[in-house]
Amino acid sequence: MNEDKKAFYEFHACLMEPWDGPASITFSDGQMIGAVLDRNGLRPSRYYVTEDDLVIMASEVGVVPDIDPLTVVEKGRLRPGRMFLVDMKEGRIVPDEEVKKRVYSAKPYKQWLADNRVFLKDLPEAKAPKTVEEDRILERQIAFGYTYEDLRMLLGPTASTGVQPIGSMGNDTPLAVLSEKPKHLYQYFKQIFAQVTNPALDCIREELVTATETFLGSEGNLLQPGPKSCRMIRLDHPILDNKQLAKLREVSLDGFKAITLDALFPADQGGEGLDAAFDALCAKADKAIEEGFNLLIISDRNIDAKNAAMPTLLVMGGLHHYLVRAGSRTKVSIILETGEAREVHHFSTLIGYGADAINPYMAFDSIHRMIAENMLEIDFDKAVYNFLKGSIKGVVKTMAKMGISTVASYRGAQIFETIGLGTELVEKYFCGTSSRCEGSDIEQVAEEALIRHREAFPDRHIDAEDRALDSGGVFQWRSDGEFHLFNPETIHLLQKAVRTGSYEVYKQYAKKINDQSENLSTLRGLMKFRGSRTPVPIEEVETIETIMKRFKTGAMSYGSISQEAHETLAIAMNRIGGKSNTGEGGEDPARYVRDKNGDSRNSAIKQVASGRFGVTSQYLTEAQEIQIKMAQGAKPGEGGQLPGRKVYPWIARVRHSTPGVGLISPPPHHDIYSIEDLAQLIFDLKNANPQARINVKLVSEVGVGTIAAGVAKGHADVILISGHDGGTGASPQTSIKHAGL
């Protein structure tokens, strides 16, 4: 790209966010008529030009049917980032480069940038970045709710590999609002994701349009651009290490003034104290803006026995909305110096509620301590680099699940819904966020923070060697950890019931899972039948045999579970007249032939996912039902994946892939950008197997009813809506725990 043109775009990146789309926008002033696509080119727009100078543009070819092909002199399509312009006065199509040149050469953008834009790396090194004293790290970790599991399963792997850790299985721990353990505010929020009506992005294959650049400083007026409009500090990404934050804290350049404000509240006060401390922080922010400060560093570093840290997400969401209402949000950048944030979902929510940059200092101190205690074998600087790299990649993937490709567009977009927070709290601190289930108020949020604080700063003296982090038990069951629906007791009862064939033992198992009066885990566990009800006479109830025909197994792919398990499920369902589901891993054609004893190992439901693993004509014709996997509960908005070590030769053969090579199918929207595309796939599958019902699998989120209505119009026969607790063979931990409802 021409350097002057590049400068035009860079200059305007300081003033506005890019539009990801999908959108095709047409415009006219009466003399000219034109069109432009979103920057990713996700909406089709095609045009014809005929001999008699008629120009036809529409989203599809053939919208105007009576055009003689012999009269067409030019056919074309809009391309991402290009503009199509017809000048009626001059009677010509103006080329994209000519249109852009008029604009980018109108002002000296390149010179303005050279004189005013500042790169973070060019700022002078700070005297000394702050660190936590070695003997206080454990105390701080306890105060911010760190667990041994966080170190072992999140921080350690990310610092070692530079990739966010993946897990398998589902999510059988309680919702944050139902948990007996104190939870961080982040855990009340679920990530919203794209399905059908707008496309998710593939941030690996579409790296070209993905950007993490961030600008700090006061935003200028878009309608009056001038040299000072780009007087901003450019960061490569929004997560900062301690040295980078220290540079910003001590910045002494014209146009930038930084101030640090404490985000603390009295440890002997509850919700009222937290609310009052927040209001006081807002007043300090107002005063700082009046005095010309434009870099607000909101810090919880100064916690002590008397002062507890305000929940970072509460501060960020509340302050962002307060400044928006005051009309001063664009005058400042908000930088968080937080001991609380340490994983991808934390960073995603903070950016989603307006954070310009984040310094997770306790994550770095924890990594330093892990290295000192030989929990990690890696150089500290390399570990910090890896942690930042893995965390940023994770944030990009979270954005991509919603179809957003730049951090600038994601910032403040609030692509979350909350479950279990009270309306009053949401309206003050997270205004505009969907909340369809009441729950915790400011008192509970404060108490959850104070439980951790009291543990870190106990009334009586405890020797250092007697203190330790909580085990955690969120990702793996621990006796003193978080409750799991599937725990040693329930698994033992299930195994015993199956091995002994005892229906009585099975009923004990079923009661433990279904009756959640002791340990509430799910919303459905809160439901009870109203009052005394008259049972339906047993003669009016369908027979067991009829009811069992409606049983279906969940979709579990061959590869995520073993051949024995996969085939046993198929045999069992075929015996009772139910249906088993192949999952997206294909199926061995040998299973289409009945066994000598008459059993069939052929799964009645065949899944077609975005990777198309194992999908052949024969596979489709052997199905009674074909399921299009738009999304799944464990990782909605992204494609399936299987680590290389799980791709054995026999699994690779069924999936038509290479043994030992990891499989990541793209997000499901790579070939399904819209309801129209989905309708086309449904049509194609009905032609492949006219006898099969077509089933579309969606995942629960706010607005899923609207999406389901569109899918029904696309002629799906069945719509399945998954919950958030579904299992998987492999998925980033952040997706298993924090996406889907």
DSSP-assigned letters across all residues of 134-158:
GGGHHHHHHHTT-BHHHIIIIIHHH
Q: Token match 């791709």: residue?
A: 647
What is the rounded distance in angstroms from the CA atom of residue 230 to the CA atom of residue 112? 7
Specify the pLDDT at position 572. 97
Specify the pLDDT at position 573. 97
Q: Give SS3 for 76.
A: strand
Q: Which of 724, 581, 725, 556 is CA-nearest to residue 640?
A: 556
- The answer to whether the peptide bond before residue 643 is cis (omega within 30 degrees of 0) is no
Specify the pLDDT at position 127. 83
- What residue spans of 430-543 are helical by DSSP H? 442-456, 488-500, 503-514
Specify the pLDDT at position 375. 94
Per the DSSP assignment, residues forming a β-bridge with 94 are: 85
Cβ proximity of 280 and 315 under 8 Å: no
Specify the pLDDT at position 199. 82
Q: Give SS3 for 671.
A: coil
Per the DSSP assignment, residues forming a β-bridge with 561 are: 558
Specify the pLDDT at position 641. 84
| pLDDT averaged per 10 residues, the chain (length 741) | 93 88 88 90 88 90 87 91 92 93 94 96 85 85 95 96 90 92 95 87 85 95 93 96 95 94 96 96 97 97 95 98 96 97 97 97 96 94 97 95 92 95 96 94 96 92 81 91 93 96 96 82 86 90 95 92 95 97 94 97 95 94 95 82 91 95 83 85 97 95 93 96 86 90 89
Cβ proximity of 476 and 149 under 8 Å: yes
φ/ψ of residue 358, rounded to 5: -135, 135
What is the rounded distance in angstroms from the CA atom of residue 273 to the CA atom of residue 445? 12
Cβ proximity of 556 and 581 under 8 Å: yes
Specify the pLDDT at position 63. 85
Q: Which two tokens stand for residue 649?
A: 């030769």
Rounded to 10 degrees, the C-alpha dihedral 413/419/424/429 comes to: -30
What is the rounded distance in angstroms from the CA atom of residue 415 to the CA atom of residue 117? 30
Cβ proximity of 615 and 608 under 8 Å: yes
Work out the number of other CB atoms within 10 angstroms of the CB of residue 438.
15
Burial (CB < 10 A; 0-12, 13-18, 19+), residue 714, is buried
φ/ψ of residue 559, rounded to 5: 125, -40
Work out the number of other CB atoms within 10 angstroms of the CB of residue 500.
11
Helical (H) or strand (E) element with 625: strand 625-629
Q: Which of 162, 725, 735 is CA-nearest to residue 398?
A: 735
* CA end-to-end span of the chain: 43
Per the DSSP assignment, residues forming a β-bridge with 239 are: 358
What is the rounded distance in angstroms from the CA atom of residue 696 to the CA atom of residue 603? 17
Specify the pLDDT at position 724. 85
